[in-house]
Chains A and B, each alone.
Chain A
Amino acid sequence: MSAPERTVEHVTCLGCGCACDDIAVVVTHGQITEARSACGLGREWFGDGSVPGETRVLARVARLDQALAAATQILTGAARPLVYLAADVSCETQRETVAIADRLHAALDGLGAAAAAGVLAAQRRGRASATLGELRQRADLVVFWAVDPGERYPRYTTRYALEPQGLATPEGRASRRVIAVDVGTSHGLPAADARVSIASGDEVDALGVMRATVGGRTGADDARFQPAVDLARRMMQARYVALVADGEPGPAGAAPPDPDRAEALVALAQALNGPTRCALSTLRGGGNRAGAEAVLTWQTGFPMSTDFARGHPEYRPHASAAALLADGAIDAALVVGAPASLPEAVARGLAPIPTVVLGPRASRATFQPAVAIDTGIAGIHEGGTAFRMDDVPLPLRPALEGPRGAATTARLLRERLAS
């Protein structure tokens, strides 16, 4: 019998890509009653820990073996199956899922595709980056480029970039200068020491002018870029610059960023490593999406949008799951992870085709899955490994016993598909 109240320490939160691992989860009578140290986003992510534990085939309650048999039939009978990695599963589950896609000769995609611009920029140019803790130790100038982490990454500033003391930043916030860059209506951190404003149409050009300045070339004499030139000069004078930008797409309805923006940010960060040191910190969402990219990369060589149709992985960065579904190319799908995390276009595309959903709250998908297998949530009910937004791997410490494990269930499905 468990005690009426217990606390699990050092729990990793997957509410956003910060993956704070200092959460103390208090469990009272089998429910989470407190997530100490968590931010609002984190508290929402933990909730009370209750999840459904259903198994359904065509909306009817079924046994697991029936569901797995139905899933196998649907997936092996498909001419063009899609496998999709959604949020809130561990790397262990993701590894099983990529194996399933390989076995099925399926198209494989995941949440990473929504952040494709940054991934592709990093593939063209590379990256000048650092793990979050290194920004904490070193950065004496932090530039928030059109992002206020307070909204989607609430503890980024208190745990990593801004407040805490570090080796070369012994006074914490007082050891750092903070500049917010506002691009159009996308504002940088409100509590900055200085602000620079750039018209949204000028963003990529401004980054180019800054890079030219860093490279010792005279900037454009256009007066509207003078603030960018001045900013570049200030960055060059710092000892270690953290350039912080959002890698995730903006909220629905926001104007999509210039496709060249991500590359211009990388190029500027790289160039700054001539006169000084600079790391670009690209903010990424939660649910272990960084883990999905890592697993996809090590198992296939590609971080997203990979197609096994020809019996080996092929990179299709411009044919994401949303695009394939919209084209009507896909005739069955497997979603592993929380269907609530699916981009709207993907959820919409899945609705008309037979879909197997294996993951947290599968039975509560907004569309009607042909097979729904509820599992626990990685990090709440299930252990394993997850990656922080900077690719630092962390252990997951489940506070609750939940419905069946996603990793085990995905393995059962893989074994069935293999037989």
Chain B
Amino acid sequence: MTTATQLRIAGGAVYDPAHGVDGVVRDVCIEGDKVVASLPPGAPRLDARGLVVMPGGVDMHAHIAGGSVNHARRLLPEEHAVDPAPAPQLAAGPRGRSGTGGTLPSSFVTGYRYAGLGYTTAMEAAVAPLTARHAHAELDDTPILDAGCFVLLGNDDFLLRQLAAGETGRARDYAAWLLGATHGYAIKIVNPGGVARWKAGGSDRNVTGLDDPVGSSTVTPRAILETLAGAANALGLPHPVHIHCNNLGQPGNAATTLESMRALGGQRAHFTHLQFHSYGGASGGAWRSAARDVIEYVNAHPEVSVDVGQVMFGAATTVTADGPVEYLLHRSTGRKWVNVDIELETGCGIVPYRYRERAAVAALQWAVGLELFLLARDPWRVALSTDHPNGGSFRSYPELIRLLMDRAYRAEQLKRVNHKLLGGSALLDGLAREYSLSEIAIITRAGPARLLGLSGKGHLGPGADADVTIYTPDADRATMFATPRYVIKAGTVVVEEGQLRHAPDGRRLTVRPEYDSALTPHLRRFFAEYATVAFENYPVAPLP
């Protein structure tokens, strides 16, 4: 029997906001793949004096693996051609794997590059249940990251039928069954009802508000939100329902966003890429920021959490289950476009995009995201994300951190952008706030881990997963966060002096809630009538 590897990360300034530790110089002790309270004096040491020690980063919303991500990769050979990624020379064993980058890197490169930024956990935010097997196969080829899948619900025909029939309990059992069948982690809703309308054809190509009927008068976006939020909470899932609201990207959509939040008033719910849902102005008319209205609601309602979905200037790829939105983007940009309607469940749309400083709408989106961050009062409920790769690549996180931490830099950037639509933006009022390192530690690890219900992540207390990132302090926060000195994943030093040294497999984060087996005959009948995949072949692994 071998003893677990021990490592004392000695003398670093530790930022562990979950334990109220704010830059205190202390040791962090690791034994095996866990953080422990102490180690014998002779244990191996990693000299962290003068360095900043944080838990490993946790990205709670990104598109990194699975059917739609792979459709997007396939669409973008030109991006991959200009960003080759040779195989890293690891410390032991054979070289790692080569690949390509761009906004949607190949799977191995995704793992390497996340780790290279100090991230050790990421959630794939939109998995069509039918293709969950694919997402897991890709995650098997995405090293280092611990990962979970958010499973798409809310436009699926079985669920909508239960709503039409008033079978809320069966809808809940179905959600529980589906999470188990797909090895999922959380329930994701994308444009509730809107994708179903898009797929149905006919003149109603999307929903416009919470009370539009979807097939049946009792099936509305509101009913879908209420049912699934209730299901997630009743099932005691570690992460509440994860919501991409109706009307993404439309002027005036803040009203819909606020109405969605109010509809779930009192229930735990997570609203994702809030930036894309915080616009004022009239539908079809001019745009303006409504960030202040939206974030003030969030500030006042502790049951609500969000991630921002910041837009960063440069290349992006919009990838979403929100098919009708991508159609509009294709029409307005003329860029190439993928749409794949996914049987009985959801949609998939992809359009490559570039956010330009000189473009009025992109500048507004950039400003709205920053406003949300800077006006948020409780960083524990406002996670950092770019909705990778929709608002920009995860590789732009260091730049985003600099924008949040460095007011002078932010002011300089603001001067460069198109101001046409920025009237009314709090950013123009000169928001003085600068995020502290502790707050950055909250929005990039401690907060998302807590919101995800990952008790072993995002902190450095005894029993935590030994995922640790060690940075060299630098006044240029982008430089500091772009090149961690060391990254430790499950007790293994994966990045050393900025070089990738080990690439262990990541772990899969899953839930398997209980459900009433009275559901099964209903499901079997539905499969027999409509599905093209056998009920027995649908789950990722055979269900007990």
Contact = CB atoms under 8 A, between A and B. Distances in A.
Contacts of A138: 199-201, 341
Interface string A249-281: 000000000000000000000100110110100
Interface in B186-205: 198-202
Interface string B522-542: 000000011111101100000
Interface string A155-169: 000011000011110
A97 to B, nearest CB: 13
Contacts of A48: none
A238 B200 CA distance: 12
Contacts of A168: 200-201
A300 B141 CA distance: 11
B141 A299 contact: yes
A22 B133 contact: no
B336 A125 contact: yes
Contacts of A12: 537
Interface in B119-173: 130-131, 133-134, 137-138, 141, 157
A64 interface: no
A130 B84 contact: no
Contacts of A238: 201
B85 A392 contact: no
A299 B108 contact: yes
Interface stretch (A179-187, A308-316, A364-372, A373-381): A308-316
B102 A103 contact: no
A286 interface: no
Interface stretch (B90-98, B383-391, B430-438, B469-477): B90-98
Contacts of B95: 103
Interface in A128-143: 128-134, 136-138
A88 interface: no
Given A301-B80, A301-B106, A418-B93, A311 B98 contact: yes
A98 to B, nearest CB: 9
B201 A276 contact: yes
A160 to B, nearest CB: 6
Contact of B339 (A127, A299, A387, A392): A127
Interface stretch (B67-75, B308-316, B361-369): B67-75
A273 B339 contact: yes
Residue from B93, B529, B532 with most neighbouring chain A CB atoms (10 Å): B532
A303 interface: yes
Interface string B86-120: 11000001110111101011111000000000000
Interface residues of A, number: 68
Contacts of A132: 343, 532
B133 A133 contact: no
Given A128-B339, A299-B107, A312-B98, A123 B532 contact: no
B137 A385 contact: yes
A130 B343 contact: yes
B338 A298 contact: no
Interface in A87-111: 91, 95, 99, 102-103
A10 interface: yes
A153 interface: no
A239 interface: yes
B519 interface: no
B77 interface: yes
Contact of B70 (A9, A297, A311): A297
A328 B141 CA distance: 34
B534 A10 contact: yes
B199 A299 contact: no
Contacts of B201: 138, 168, 238-240, 276-277
B443 interface: no
B67 A312 contact: no
B532 A301 contact: no
A302 B199 contact: no
B86 A273 contact: no
A167 B530 CA distance: 7
Interface in A389-419: 391-395, 418-419
B340 A91 contact: no
Interface residues of B, number: 65
B36 to A, nearest CB: 34
B199 to A, nearest CB: 7
B98 A123 contact: no
A10 B98 contact: no
Contacts of A419: 94
A393 B130 CA distance: 8
B343 A313 contact: no
B421 interface: no
Given A239-B202, A294-B70, A299-B99, A315 B534 contact: no
A51 interface: no
B515 interface: no
Contacts of B141: 95, 298-299
Query: What DSSP secondary structure best describes chain A's contact surface?
Result: mixed
A85 to B, nearest CB: 16
A95 B139 CA distance: 12
Contact of A131 (B65, B104, B343, B351): B343
A127 B340 contact: yes
B533 A301 contact: no
Contacts of A165: 529-530
A395 B133 contact: yes
Nearest to B100: A301
A134 B130 CA distance: 12
A126 interface: yes
A122 interface: yes
A124 interface: yes
B350 interface: yes
Contacts of B133: 385, 393-395
Contacts of A119: 74
A312 B100 contact: yes
B249 to A, nearest CB: 18
B21 interface: no
A390 B483 CA distance: 40
Contacts of A393: 131, 133-134, 137
A269 to B, nearest CB: 9
A166 B74 contact: no
Contacts of B202: 239
Contacts of B93: 418
Given A299-B106, A385-B137, A312 B99 contact: yes
A354 B344 CA distance: 49
Nearest to A130: B341
Contacts of B411: none
A21 interface: yes
Contacts of A123: 74-77
B81 interface: yes
A129 B339 contact: yes
A21 B157 contact: no
Residue from A136, A317, A393 with most neighbouring chain B CB atoms (10 Å): A393
A189 B98 CA distance: 45
Contacts of B532: 131-133, 136, 159-160, 392
A302 B98 CA distance: 13
B86 A102 contact: no
Given A12-B537, A123-B75, A393-B131, A129 B340 contact: yes
Given A129-B339, A132-B532, A313-B106, 11 more contacts: A12-B537, A126-B75, A126-B330, A133-B343, A138-B341, A165-B530, A273-B339, A277-B201, A298-B141, A301-B73, A393-B133
27 contacts: A10-B534, A95-B137, A95-B141, A123-B74, A128-B337, A130-B342, A131-B342, A131-B343, A133-B344, A133-B530, A134-B342, A136-B530, A137-B530, A167-B344, A279-B339, A279-B341, A300-B80, A301-B105, A311-B87, A313-B84, A313-B100, A315-B81, A391-B70, A394-B533, A395-B133, A395-B537, A418-B94
Interface of A: 9-10, 12, 21-22, 91, 95, 99, 102-103, 119, 122-134, 136-138, 159-160, 165-168, 238-240, 270, 273-274, 276-277, 279, 293-294, 297-303, 308, 310-315, 317, 385, 387, 391-395, 418-419
Closest 4 CB pairs of A and B: A133-B343, A301-B80, A301-B100, A418-B94
